Amino acid sequence: MLTIKRVPTVVSNYQEDTVDDAGAAEPVGCGRSCLGRCCLPLSKLPLYAFKGDSEISPNSTSEGFFFLNSLLLTQWDERMSRGLFRYDVTACEAKVVPGRCGFVAQLNEGRHRKKRPTEFRVDQVLQPFDANKFNFTKVGQEEALFRFEPATNATPVDGTRSPSVVVINVSPIEYGHVLLIPRVLDCLPQRIDRESFLLALHLAVEAANPYFRVGYNSLGAFATINHLHFQAYYLSVPFR
């Protein structure tokens, strides 16, 4: 079984305010410190750079692969201590259902009552992106954990590139629940493609953890936001 261990928290450098000579914080971008084009290029979001396809092996036991787990869980715990989640998922009761499939059942009343309601009809899986509806460019940077990019793209965000970012899921279903948002500024609809799928696979490989899961759900399959994203979290039982 997965043991939930609290790890020392760190303060991300993007949380530091820009201070002028008078000692007052200066607003940057639109002033909301969001993940849109107005603010993200001005942020100091930490970068996790992964190796290319030819340099990585899913069977590697290098200690470097475990850095992702430490980085993700340290920052996730820090966001929990700041009260950024809508409920405490670690207090939810869960158990493995007897049988050969090993289904995990969880009683999560908070997700049922407090999860963001969908703004889209569910009779069409593929729908165009609508900037007027909620999307991840409107998320505050306090919910963002780090950029997740190939080493070849390990450069500052300058407004000409669209970075992939990892943010917390404020309505989590498991410990360490995050969202991987490919090329967040490109505002892609919730439709999986080869490039985004490979990015999600890289996240799973970098974690190299049998308890770590990466998933995808479309509109009509309980996705409530039509902005391309993957789910990732630590399940209480290992993959087998």
Do residues 191 and 218 lie in contact, with contact meaning Cβ atoms separated by under 8 Å? yes
Tell which wins on pLDDT, 19 or 98: 98
List pLDDT tens digits, range 29-38.
788 899 999 9
The domain locations on the chain are 38-87+117-234
Q: Position of tokens 């090993």?
A: 102
The secondary structure element, H or E, covering residue 195 is helix 194-207
Q: With CA atoms as reference, report the closest residue to 72 among 168, 150, 162, 161.
A: 168
Average pLDDT over residues 14-24: 42
- pTM score, two decimals? 0.83
* Predicted pLDDT at 158: 67
Alpha-carbon span 122 to 142, nearest angstrom: 30
Alpha-carbon span 133 to 115, nearest angstrom: 16
Do residues 145 and 167 lie in contact, with contact meaning Cβ atoms separated by under 8 Å? yes
List pLDDT tens digits, range 61-112.
445 557 899 999 999 999 999 999 999 999 999 999 999 888 999 999 988 8
Q: With CA atoms as reference, report the closest residue to 188 among 153, 216, 224, 227.
A: 227
How many CA atoms, within 13 angstroms, populate the side-chain half-sphere of residue 178?
A: 32
Is 229 noted as a catalytic residue in this protein? yes
According to CATH, the topology of domain 38-87+117-234 is HIT family, subunit A (3.30.428)
Do residues 180 and 68 lie in contact, with contact meaning Cβ atoms separated by under 8 Å? no
